[in-house]
Structure 1
Amino acid sequence: MQTAQPSSLRLLQWMMAASLALPLALFLFASAMSWVSTNEAADREIERTLDVAHEHALKVFETIDGSLSEIAEMIRGLPDDGIAAREESLHQRLGQLTASLPQMKSAWIFDARGHALANSLTVPAPDIDFSDRDYFRAQVDGDAGTFISEAMKPRAPYQGSAFFGVSRRRSHEDGSFGGVIQASVLPEYFENFYARIGRERGSFFALIRADGAVLAQFPVIDHPFRFEPSGDLGQQLTANPLSGLFTMISPADGIERRLGYRRLAEYPIYVAAGLETAAIRARWISAMAQHLIFGVPATALLFLLLALAFRRTKHLQREASRRMEAEEALRHGQRLEALGQLTGGVAHDFNNLLTVIRGSVDMLRRRDLPEPRRQHYIDAISNTVNRAAKLTGQLLAFARRQALKPEVFDAVQSVQTLSEMIATLIGSRIEIVTEVPDAPCLINADAGQFETAVINMAVNARDAMAGTGRLTIAVRRADALPSGFSSPPSPHGHVAVSVADTGIGIPPELLGRIFEPFFTTKEVGQGTGLGLSQVFGFAKQSGGEVDVASEVGKGATFTLYLPRATGTGRAQSLLPEDTAAHASGTSVLVVEDNPEVGNFAVDALTQLGNTAVLVDNATHALEELATDADRFDVVFTDVVMPGMSGIELAQEIRRQGLDVPIVLASGYSQVLSQQGSYGFELLQKPYSAEQLLRALHKAARSNRVRRHQAPA
């Protein structure tokens, strides 16, 4: 829950970030695609407009060219005197021609000196020299064909709009220069046309000579202008003389434009059409603004909803944290209460045991005590110590701190053997039914603890039936644990051992407490309340589970699930007790930091005919072994010691290659409870002299047998 809370907040934070980042990424992608599309559309529009402007310009110049041909026919074969003589009629015919063509301002016939012989404007023509005009000069040295001049202003006394001249050469019969025929064309005619077709914002049109001189332009500029050959346009015309499309900054007004151009087929004239790049960007911005109109509110709304969800979730998690803190405080109080109950129960039982021991010791101090009574009190002390050791073992089993000795054995065989003992334990009025499969059910667990757990469940069932009923003990294989258990699955499944009774059952409100230590519904003195606690602790420490199902009035079923093992079960082989009790002649290195326990072990071994050397830490033990390791048949060491522990001592002995048996002793060790005894023999405290001697002689004898069987 605590891990899920930050995760959910992080998820909402990521979603909030994504609600902004994803639309932004999509907007940027759409912007890029729209920018490309807008530019492509602008280029297509420029091409279409350029088609119209080019077609128009071509028709205009072809018309003017045709007009010049018509004027030439009017004066064919006439000398300058003949033309002057017909000035009146030619004026009228030229006036009619120019009046029919809106693009033409006037028409002129010049002699070889540059003086007008006839024109469409006035009659008689003024005596003005036009030989300095470029449309005249271009034809003097040779036939320039149809020549188009730069834009220019009318010369006084003529007034009006600017024009550019289109001229042809007049030649005499001998081919000499005879004058010029010229038509004055209005740039404003083109500019008006361009204004009509260029309604889009940022539109641009121009009529440009091949040398860069601008004849007409829209938007109009109020001064003559020329594109230099070294400029962008000049370089483009040089590289692509027929047509092209490129982006340039106009030197006339400093505006950046996307410009297309195309040459008129028979004339040194280019028609250009374009759009300002600012106008293209404005189209793109306008298109993206439409997306923003809908996208920004939607994104803002989504972000706001996620922000509200984040705030709400954070508030709920704060509330959940406060609730969890309150629940944890309640559980802490319950743990303290359970600890108090556990402490009280332990103190009560141990005070009873200590009372028996102390009373027996006091009676043993009496000098007039008869031998039978003395033996009685000795037996009472011994039995009380055994009961105390059993009580400690049950507590450690519940706490999952018992040092287990796992081995592979057959649960079916074990239950069949136990059923006879259980029959004696629970009485003849209870029917025992054993349901076991034919095939073995191997498990890897502490066999002694397993038997204790089964007996504890059977005794609990006996008390629930008040001595009368049916007890069913069943063994079966289980592929998986029932739902609701947190233990990891076993690779080979589990073995389920169930004990079912026909007793009074367990009320639902008590099911959650039956595994608590010292919790019991029995009368005072009828039970310790640790039996089911031992079952629970043993199951958990062995990697299994314990389940209970009960219905009031119909009995209860306790099922112990233990990991199933593969292989072959093996039985323990112990030295016969009578042989071990009378064995002697063993040399033992005793490592014990507690002086009383160490002296007891040394005294017990010495009294039984063995040799013992006592040291109080692992360092001194290693020094003794370094002096002469062969003089010791076995090393007997406590596990929990200051500095180097007994397990570390045993591992160091093995690392040094010393071939001496090692027996560990411990009342409780965290390392042993979690990781086992690392393959070394283990003697549980408290131990008797007989148990000590049996364990040491077993280790020494096993080592001697192994040495004898080893190849020479």
Structure 2
Amino acid sequence: MQTAQRNSLRLLQWMMVASLALPLGLFVFASAVSWVSIRETADREIEHSLDVAHEHALKVFETIDRSLSEMAEIIRDVPDADIVAREQMLHLRLKRLVTSLPQVKSAWIFDAKGHALVNSLVVPAPEIDFSDRDYFKAHVDADIGTYIGEALTPRPPYQGAPFFGVSRRRPSEDGSFAGVLQASVFPEYFESYYARIGREPGSYFALGRADGTVLARFPIIDRDIRLDRNGPIAKLVAANPMAGLITVTSPTDGIERRLGYRRLAEYPIYVGAGLETSAIRARWLSTMSQHLIFGAPATALLFALLGLALRRTRHLHFEAERRQQAEEALKHGQRLEALGRLTGGVAHDFNNLLTVIRASVDLLRRPDLAEARRLRYIDAISDTVTRAAKLTGQLLAFARRQALKPEVFDVSRSVQMLSEMISTLVGPRIEIVILGSEEPCFVNADASQFETAIINIAVNARDAMEGRGRLTMAVGMAASLPNAAPLPQHPYGYVAVSVADTGSGIPPDQLERIFEPFFTTKQAGHGTGLGLSQVFGFAKQSGGEVAVASEVGKGSIFTLYLPRTAGSGRSRQPATDAAAIDGSGTSVLVVEDNAEVGRFTTDALAELGYAAKLVGNATHALEELATGAERFDAVFTDVVMPGMSGIELAQEIRRLHPELPVVLTSGYSHVLSEHGSHGFELLQKPYSIEQLSRVLHRIARRDVGQEAASASS
């Protein structure tokens, strides 16, 4: 004890001696260390900001470059006269292209004399000579690839913000100069982006050409900027032309900055990001002033507080770890419960369907079965397969993994056409009120899935009203999705379809579970619990939302939101059943890895007069085509196969044999659900032989050739 006391006294004595000298020495040392640290931190921030600005600019110019390539492919080898003749169609394509690129003001196609053949702004193109513009003159003598011009002002009669041109030479067969493809880019697009990311005091961003012309800058100034090629900044950049970090005084505003710059890959463009050195010094002074104010007493107090905080933090971490383990156990149990409910529901419904199929098959095997009963059992099997396909479709809809077939249609008209079917479903004691919209209500979605969703909502409303009440269906507009502020909103707004009932309402404890698959409050045998899950999945996969408002005893309102689209669609005609079409010797290459499905398909096609050849995978299919693709009039392939998928096979066939049509088939594929069928005909499993024969009859190249021959004669 005494030794400890002596040590404490000695320590106090040393602390008294050091109380004057040590703080001063520590302050000087801390100042030097802090300055180096703050400089390094500022450099890292500059490098990070430069990474962000460089990646943004690179993506913008690459996107514009791809758009110019797309324009080039559209008009490749097309004479000027044909371009003018197709001006309206090309104008719409350019307009759609510009609409999808917020950084682009307009897109132009010029002839070899500098006159606009077509643009994205107006039809017809103006009779103005643009041959004096830099984005045109740069391509006259040679093909220099992508050219990025200086900032320009619109030429009358056009008005608006300044722009700079990104242009390429029009392709020609003999390599001669045929004109220019050009996109006008907003500098303010970059400046707005820099303003969003440059929130630190003293932040600086710039986008400029290799010759010193500044295209965009933050902070923004109201004059054009061109750096001197022999100035100090140009000399520093010339020493390290690809990238660097320098301290310079801007000749534009006289402010000294710590500046990082980097060149954009293959483009003659530099991106710069920096901080004012005064802002860096201000950080250092702020840090050191805090040390100066608090000094040694604050350090001692801080140490004590940190010790107490460490002890408390260790205790809190221990408690948090225990709580996290309990939460993980609870989540695991909930996942298992949800998985059990899902698998149990699927097993229950599919066992019911399989029971019908098995019973019908057993009865069909009985001898001396009457023809009428045999047809009834066959119809029962067919109907059950359809119900099973619908059940699978509802599960895929909830999981947002169904392959949608979007088309533009009028929601108001579709709801009006559904009213008669819904009236039959809900019964005569339920009054149906339809409230349409005065504005066009066009959406680009899967019309069949939309109709299924509305019917599912209506059937749930009927059950909630117990067959008596009022069902109100209203179509209107919404500027945004409900409760989705952080999400990007659709530029044209949304079409909102609300279905209101006067039923019993939904209790609050069940409101959050109504979209779960197989969750239902109905009695056994009165519902699968998949109707609302299909609505939920369809809305989400279509880029929309479904909202529910309900009060117990007063009814519920289900509102389906779908992104609105510009333009108009064609009226849909209800599908009708059609008989199978005779193949008349049409040759089909069937690619199917499932042997039973493959044999069924080839046998069925043979019965209809098709010449079908079955192979088990994509590799064998390509080998068959390599020996003579002319032997086949069409290829019918499954999507999901080991090795090369059906989509990859179809794309390879399109490359090697572009005249050979391909039909895809699949029960489910995540590639189809996310990216579509890539322009190929798609037949969903399970399919009937009638459906397959109609598809093959429509696209087989022999039929196409015969129709063309008959048309020409």
TM-score scaled by structure 2?
Answer: 0.56
- 1:80-133: per-residue Cα shift (whole Å, max 9, x none)? xxxxxxxxxxxxxxxxxxxxxxxxxxxxxxxxxxxxxxxxxxxxxxxxxxxxxx
For the residues of structure 1 that align with 2:608 and 2:631, how far apart are their CA atoms? 18
Deviations 1:183-229 (A, max 9, x none): xxxxxxxxxxxxxxxxxxxxxxxxxxxxxxxxxxxxxxxxxxxxxxx
CA contact (8 A) 1:574 1:698 kept: no
Match of 1:547 in 2: 547
CA offsets per residue over residues 428-463 of structure 1, 9 Å max, x none? 111111112122212222111111111100000000
Equivalent residue for 1:352? Answer: 352
Partner of 1:373: 373
Q: Is the 8 A contact 2:402 2:673 kept in 1?
A: yes
Q: Is this contact kept in 2: 1:587–1:634, CA < 8 A?
A: yes
Match of 1:569? 569
The question of whether the paired residues in 1 share the 8 Å contact of 2:580 and 2:689 is answered with no
Aligned length: 434
Kindly indicate whether the alpha-carbon contact (under 8 Å) linking 1:591 and 1:616 is maintained by their aligned counterparts in 2: yes
The answer to whether structure 1 residue 430 and structure 2 residue 430 are counterparts is yes
Structure 1 distance, partners of 2:583, 2:439, is 41
8 Å CA contact retained: 1:546, 1:560: yes
The one-letter code of the counterpart of 2:475 is V
Letter aligned with residue 383 of structure 1: D
Note the residue ranges of structure 1 that are not aligned, 5 or more in a row.
1-19, 33-287
The amino acid of 1:648's aligned partner reads E
Counterpart AA for 1:331: K
Q: Is it true that 1:687 corresponds to 2:687 in the alignment?
A: yes
| Shift in Å, 1:566 | 2.2
Check the 8 A contact 1:494/1:562 in 2, yes or no. yes
Deviates more, 1:374-383 or 1:431-440: 431-440
2:382 paired residue number: 382
SS in 1 for 2:388: helix
* Distance in 2 between residues matched to 1:587 and 1:571, nearest whole Å: 35
Report if aligned partners of 2:664, 2:683 keep a CA contact under 8 Å in 1: yes
Call closer, same or farther: CA 1:705–1:304 in 2, change over 3 Å: farther
Q: CA RMSD in A?
A: 3.3
CA distance in 2, matches of 1:534, 1:489: 23
- CA separation of 1:604 and 1:307: change in aligned 2, threshold 3 A: farther
The letter of the residue matching 1:355 is T
Counterparts of 1:30 and 1:356, CA distance in 2? 81
Alignment of 1:324-473 (within 5 A): 324-473=324-473
Residues 574 and 530 of structure 1, relative CA distance in 2, 3 Å threshold: closer
For residue 515 of structure 1, give the secondary structure of its aligned residue in structure 2. Answer: coil
Alignment of 1:247-262 (within 5 A): none
List gaps (5 residues or longer) in structure 2. 1-22, 36-287
Deviation, structure 1 residue 329 = 2.2
Question: What amino acid maps onto 1:536 in structure 2?
Answer: F
Q: Is the 8 A contact 2:475 2:495 kept in 1?
A: yes
Q: Give the match for residue 588 of structure 1.
A: 588
- Structure 1 residues 304, 25: closer, same or farther in 2, change over 3 A? farther
Measure how far apart 1:390 and its partner are.
1.0
Residues 516-563 of structure 1, C-alpha deviations (whole Å, 9 max, x = no match)? 111111111111111111111111222222111100000001111122
- After superposition, the Cα gap between the structure-2 partners of 1:523 and 1:658, relative to the gap in structure 1 and judged at 3 Å, is same
Deviations 1:351-370 (A, max 9, x none): 11111111111111112111
CA distance in 2, matches of 1:348, 1:609: 40
Structure 1 residues 705, 393: CA separation in 2 closer, same or farther (over 3 Å shift)?
Answer: farther
2:532 — aligned with what? Answer: 532
> How far, CA to CA, are the matches of 1:445 and 1:566 in structure 2?
13
CA distance in 2, matches of 1:557, 1:674: 30
CA contact (8 A) 2:581 2:697 kept: no
438-447 vs 575-584, which moves further: 575-584
Deviation at 1:318, TM superposition (A): 6.0
Question: AA paired with 1:298?
Answer: A
Tell me, yes or no, if the aligned pair for 1:617 and 1:641 is still in contact at 8 Å. yes
Contact 1:577 1:694 in 2 (8 A): no
* 3-state SS, counterpart of residue 525 of structure 1: coil
- Rate the CA distance shift 1:612–1:571 in 2: closer, same or farther, 3 A: farther
Q: Provide the C-alpha distance between the structure 2 equivalents of 1:612 and 1:30, rounded to a whole number of angstroms.
A: 80
- Residue aligning to 2:218: none
* Distance in 2 separating the partners of 1:394 and 1:550: 24
Distance 1:556 1:512 in 2: 14
Q: Which has the larger radius of gyration?
A: 1
Is residue 2:635 matched to residue 1:635?
A: yes
Say if 1:326 and 1:569 are closer, same or farther in 2 by CA, change over 3 A. Answer: farther
Query: Do the aligned residues in 2 keep the contact of 1:575 with 1:694 (CA within 8 Å)?
Result: no
Secondary structure, aligned partner of 1:513: coil
| TM superposition shift of 1:484 | 5.3
Q: CA 1:628/1:451 → structure 2, altered by over 3 Å: closer, same or farther?
A: same
Q: Deviations over 1:124-155 (max 9, x none)?
A: xxxxxxxxxxxxxxxxxxxxxxxxxxxxxxxx
Q: Within 2, Cα distance between the matches of 1:601 and 1:423?
A: 40
The residue type equivalent to 2:438 in the other structure is D
Structure 1 distance, partners of 2:365, 2:318, is 68
* Secondary structure of 2:549's aligned partner: strand
